[in-house]
Amino acid sequence: MRILIANDKFKGSLAAEKAGFHIKNSLESLFPGALIDICPIADGGEGTALAMTTALAGEWVHAQTQDAHGRPIEAPFGWVPGSATAIMEMSAASGLAIVHDIELNPFKANTLGTGILIQSALRRGARRLLIGIGGSATNDAGLGVALALGYRFKRRGQDFSPTLETILEADQVERPTSLPPFELIAACDVDNPLLGPRGATRVYGPQKGVRDFAWFEQRLEHLADLARRDLGVDPRDIPGAGAAGGLGFGLMAFLGGRLVSGFDMVASQIDLEARVASADLVITGEGRLDAQSLQGKGPVGVARLARQLGKKIVGVAGSVEDSDALRAQFDLLIGIKPAAMPLDEAMRRTGELLESAVRAHAAPLRALSS
């Protein structure tokens, strides 16, 4: 018998890989001799790089870079040597969580640190970059990334290094001549364009301290106009261009990247379909399964794939919402938190609760596997 454990993280408690090992511990006592494949998953958000690096048997490396406000930091990314693949999250360098200790200043915040991280991966020999672009502290449309990768901006014929405040002075942009060839795929689960009422500035800017929408719109539009005229690319209206403060636009315009759904990116890179196809029973889960899980979250993506391939699918979560739509996706749902247990205690004991809850459902699990 083959069992696939393809779970996401239990946010605030356990990384996806650790949660998978706790589930495996329980299953080994219920199904002696079973072949159990642990395949951590993610949906493009926090934990994507770690989950994919683990699933691809890569290693975790660190590079010197800077945060969105220019402070020196060390940021991690995944490295899969055999395929020259680097896996990273822009939030590791330019994320909002990193600058929570200082006053937000969207006029100064930039993605230069993300660009430095990309440059580090390229110098290491990367020919494929997989990057999650959620959780940004920036609203610069990838200007910082462009500068870090060697794009040259000119003002009246002279090179200069623009900021958001001075980008309107740029009257020309040129491609770098020394970038090696590489493929860039970005995990993006929003469909906002770069500009306008649904764009980066008006929808996501307020959480980063943006108040003067017209100021930012003018500068992002100017950057897009330069890219259209001088680089021959204009992805401003492509769904997802407005993701991560316009970084979706920047990765497409400056690095030739393409945007895909977070779950689809992870699934394709870790060969999830083949792993589901070879299993007799599939188990997935995350911290909570509810109506939001139906909107592109990893565990429901696994469940839908299992259904398509005719496999039995089990969902395990800290808590499970009583929902007909959710139940329809699974053959069995297991909530691990006892009703009377305080949430903070349950989060401290997630591993223990996972193991005991799975063992407590031995009968229905065996029935599904028969």
Phi and psi (nearest 5°) for 159? -65, 140
Average pLDDT, integer, range 79-86? 94
Least confident window among 60-74, 111-125, 294-308: 294-308
Average pLDDT in the chain: 94
Q: Encoding tokens for residue 285?
A: 């889960």
Residue 197: pLDDT band by 50, 70, 90 thresholds?
Answer: very high
pTM, rounded to two decimals: 0.85
Residue 45: pLDDT band by 50, 70, 90 thresholds?
Answer: confident
pLDDT at 324: 92
Residue 279: pLDDT band by 50, 70, 90 thresholds?
Answer: very high
Q: Using the predicted structure, report yes or no on whether residue 142 has a pLDDT greater than 80.
A: yes
* Residue-range domains of the chain with CATH: 2-41+271-369 (3.40.50.10350), 48-263 (3.90.1510.10)
Average pLDDT, integer, range 61-86? 96
pLDDT at 293: 86
Question: What residue type is 281 in one-letter code?
Answer: L
Sort residue 57 into left (φ over 0), alpha (ψ -120 to 50) or beta: left
Least confident window among 54-63, 66-75, 211-220: 54-63
Strand arrangement of the beta sheet that strand 2-5 belongs to: 35-38, 2-5, 281-289, 312-320, 332-335
CB contact set of 202 (below 8 Å; sequence gap of 6+): 196, 213, 217
Residue 189: pLDDT band by 50, 70, 90 thresholds?
Answer: confident
pLDDT at 294: 86
Residue 83: pLDDT band by 50, 70, 90 thresholds?
Answer: very high
| 336-345 pLDDT, tens digit each | 999 999 999 9
User: Is 39 within 8 Å of 55 (Cβ atoms)?
Assistant: yes
Average pLDDT, integer, range 282-292? 93
Choice between 178 and 160, residue whose per-residue pLDDT is larger: 160
Choice between 50 and 203, residue whose per-residue pLDDT is larger: 203
| 310-325 pLDDT, tens digit each | 999 999 999 999 999 9
pLDDT at 38: 94
Choice between 294 and 68, residue whose per-residue pLDDT is larger: 68
| 255-275 pLDDT, tens digit each | 999 999 888 888 988 899 999
pLDDT at 55: 82
pLDDT at 262: 87
Q: Are strands 35-38 and 59-66 parallel, antiparallel or unpaired?
A: unpaired
Distance (Å, whole) CA 7 – CA 22:
11
Whose CA is closest to 336, among 294, 283, 288, 284? 288
| 210-262 pLDDT, tens digit each | 999 999 999 999 999 999 999 999 999 999 999 999 999 999 999 999 999 88
Q: Which residues pair with 128 in a beta bridge?
A: 85, 183
Average pLDDT, integer, range 129-151? 96
